[in-house]
Structure 1
Amino acid sequence: MIDLRKLEHLGVTSSSEDGDIHNNDAFFFLENCPAHRYEAIITDPPYEIGIAGKDWDCKKLRIDVLAYQFHRVLKPSGNVFVFCSDFQFGDWYRELSRYFTKLRKFAWCKTDSVGFNKGMFQESFELGLHVCSEDSYFGTEKRKNYVVSGKTSGKERLMPDPDEKWSTKKGEKSLHPTQKSLEVIESLVTSLSKEGDTIFDPFSGTGTLGVAAKTLGRRFEMVEYGFRYHIAAWDRILGKE
């Protein structure tokens, strides 16, 4: 029997009344996406740091292309939020500032950060960048530009199936090494969109954005290149994880 969890089927789309997940290349999908389609883009692209030895996180990311395409497919009053690594932040800020007038740093402070680096401070946050135009929507609830919450481990983190061969190295035990906290993504969805809006994530991983959007009454459209992650995301959307 063929194990569909480990194959790539580019072009496959899983659809529901709440939204779609496309197993596709993010750049190809964006090139063929109609203009002004989404009210918000919330995404977590590769950091280019080779986390957990993953090849997809070692390749050079065309941030200039992504910034242009984000502006093109976003509605004029929409919001973009991008998680990024420290050294990427300047590139994201420079490229997105070509198209948006308002830019603001964001830091997700992890309350459950683990590990110890002798003689050094322990990093316990990740950077993000929120950009928009002058008339963009922002939730009525007052929010600080950081979230000191959101567990990064525990029951929420997806694990491989018992019969799957998976690495036991640090950072590779979970199904996806950079799965974001649902609590943090729900906060972003609430702040940057209204009920009924469509939110886009071209690097959806295990689909946390889709779960948050469905729970909060938004529609979602997501793209994920890895077919195994596509399946995991769809199971979460259907409540099977």
Structure 2
Amino acid sequence: MKDLRKQDYLGVTSSSEDGDIHNNDAYLFLGNCPAHRYEAIITDPPYAIGIAGKDWDCKELQIDVLAYQFHRVLKPGGNVFVFCSDFQFGTWYRELSRYFTKLRKYAWCKPDSVGYNKGMFQESFELGLHACSDDSYFDMGNYYKNHTVTGKTSGKERIMPDPDEEWTKGKGSKALHPTQKSLKVIKDLVTALSKEGDTILDPFSGTGTLGVAAKQLGRKFEMVEYGFRNHIAAWDRILGKQV
């Protein structure tokens, strides 16, 4: 019998009083979503870093489509935040600037990054972009810089495959999601860009860090994730079975 955890898309939805997680395609979900539904969108889409002949993270994003849909499903006065690779940044900036008047770059700086490439500067940050309008909400009760300094996601927070899953040669030793974001980083963004009771969308939710942050901070969430195994992990986190 086929292990359902290895399936990409089963089309199921897991619902709770705090929000919903959809095992779905992000483009399909956004295309069918009503307009002006969310107060904020905070997401970490694929970086497409493998398009230069590599077989990992190699699907190029339709950033123009995503920027349009983000604007369409966002309520007036809402915020968009996307993490992106450095070579995607210009495209995201151009496409989001069609709909939003204020844009600001952001960086997650990781002081504990470990490098393996000798003769090169070690990558120790990830880029993000915040887009909004002149009347968009922003938490004025705190002071926010355009960067956060915190370590990589590790320890109990790092989601691992189930012990019985055949994942890598070192079974169970590799993280389930290779680019899982730190809960602290996401909680900072949620606090800055939304109010209690707001609903936040993450159409590329991975293992559900946005949902965990939203629940802890009194927001509602709607998350979309194509990989069914990640959907299971996100749901376990929302139910409190994992960090």
Classify the TM-score, shorter chain: over 0.9
- Tell me the amino acid that sits aligned with residue 237 of structure 2: R
Aligned pair count reads: 237
**In the TM superposition, what are the counterparts of 1:88-127 in structure 2 within 5 Å?**
88-127=88-127
Distance 1:130 1:150 in 2: 21
Q: TM-score, normalised to structure 2's length? A: 0.93
Q: TM-score, normalised by structure 1?
A: 0.94
The 2-side partners of 1:104 and 1:32 are apart by 29
Aligned to 1:10: 10
List, as ranges, runs of 4+ consecutive aligned residues in structure 1 with deviation greater than 6 Å.
none
Tell me if structure 1 keeps the 8 A contact 2:13–2:22. Answer: yes
SS of residue matched to 1:187: helix
Residue in 2 that maps onto 1:146? 147
Deviation at 1:116, TM superposition (A): 3.7
CA–CA separation in structure 2 for the residues paired with 1:84 and 1:236: 24
Provide the identity percentage.
81
- Identify which range, 17-26 or 114-123, moves more after superposition: 114-123
**Counterpart mapping for 1:156-235 below 5 A:** 156-168=157-169, 173-235=174-236
Shift of residue 60, structure 1, vs aligned partner? 1.4
Deviations 1:38-58 (CA, angstroms, capped at 9, x unpaired) = 00000000000139x665x20
Residue 50 of structure 2 corresponds to which residue in structure 1?
Answer: 50
Offset at 1:118?
1.8
Partner Cα distance (1:168, 1:37) in 2:
44
Are 2:212 and 2:238, in contact at CA under 8 Å, matched by a contact in 1? yes
- Report 1:64-83 matches (<5 A): 64-83=64-83
Question: Compared with structure 1, are the counterparts of its residues 157 and 54 closer, same or farther at alpha carbon in structure 2 (3 Å cutoff)?
Answer: farther
Shift of 1:14: 0.1
Q: How far off its partner does 1:154 sit?
A: 2.2
Deviation at 1:224, TM superposition (A): 0.3
Q: Give the distance between the partners of 1:235 and 1:9, measured in 2 at CA.
A: 18
In structure 1, runs of 5+ residues without a counterpart are: none
Indicate the RMSD between aligned Cα atoms, in angstroms: 1.6
Checking the alignment, whether the CA contact within 8 Å between 1:67 and 1:96 is kept in structure 2 is: yes
Unaligned runs of 5+ in 2: none
1:91 is paired with a residue whose SS is helix
Q: Given that residues 150 and 183 in structure 1 are in contact (C-alpha distance below 8 angstroms), is that contact kept between their aligned partners in structure 2? A: no
Q: Alpha-carbon deviation of 1:79?
A: 0.2
